[in-house]
Structure 1
């Protein structure tokens, strides 16, 4: 089996290379959108906590919908292909970002915020210079979880006519070619691991810039 997988890589590497690029494009688009929206919503509900229960509740409900069902719900509105896959992945990526941003900010000790206020800091300065740096470890944990999950879930995109490494998995299943299925799955795992390490590197860079303890 292992020999068959590596033989596939050697013989059809341009095919897999194209699928990897498609996979990264779909996943990175969803990660960028859900990361931005999730961070914004997390900050919003941490500053206006009366909305927290409702927003997190709605996102929780969406998160419990099976991925295939989510794609089925979206197809009548957005059709088949990368667009629908990106929307579904964006929805799934919201929960870890919103929840971790909210948790990271709201668990900061009130005395720390009071000290910042006493020094004359504006609400924006408190958010940017106090809350976000202190909440960074929790936010990044949510981001890393979301990145790995999104890249893994991107494999289902092939079921609705989108690209990515799911194409190799789907083709392997339909043709009873186990080597093709494993080859696609291994590459998805490697892309996810590499992306996780990239996020960790960015976190270290931000910590260094903000002079935060590792």
Structure 2
């Protein structure tokens, strides 16, 4: 097993690096787009709790759809390629970002908000000077969860020709004695999740 794994790595190093890079690219782009979409939604929902129940309910419904099913639906709409997988990542990463933003902003101690209003801060100033900084740890925890989700979802990108480490895993499944190949793909997926988590912690600090 170990010898076969080393042999596979030596013979396919350029291919593995290419798929590794593609996997990271899709995961990061997907999460960045999710933050750009999900954070404003979370902020708006924190100001409208009636709408929050409906929107968060819809996002929760998306989470219950099997990822391969969602990928198939988007494939019909968008066709083959990376964009289809990125869209899938965005849909599945929405929940932790939107929900954590909503929960974080709504759990800011009212004392701070009242004090800010007492010194004449506008509603917008209270939001970006008081609420968002105090809610930042919860919001960032949502982004971290979204990164882990993205790495997992990107693995199914091989079914729509997007590349990524799913290609390696799928090759291992489709051949006899493909366990070393599957191991390489799975290990590298776990490595990406760990590296992105470490990078995220560094950026936050």
Q: How does 1:50-129 map to 2 (within 5 A)?
A: 50-129=50-129
2:25 counterpart residue number: 25
1:123 CA displacement: 1.7
1:7 CA displacement: 2.6
1:127 CA displacement: 1.2
2:152 counterpart residue number: 152
Gaps of 5+ in 1: 205-214
Question: Which SS does the other structure have where 2:129 is aligned?
Answer: helix
Gaps of 5+ in 2: none
2:190 counterpart residue number: 189
1:128 CA displacement: 1.3
1:6 CA displacement: 2.7
1:8 paired to 2:8: yes
Normalising by structure 2, we get a TM-score of 0.96
How many aligned positions are there? 204
| Distance (whole Å) between structure 2 residues aligned to residue 184 and residue 167 of structure 1 | 8
Over the aligned positions, Cα root-mean-square deviation in angstroms equals 1.1
| Distance (whole Å) between structure 1 residues aligned to residue 152 and residue 187 of structure 2 | 11
1:3 CA displacement: 2.9
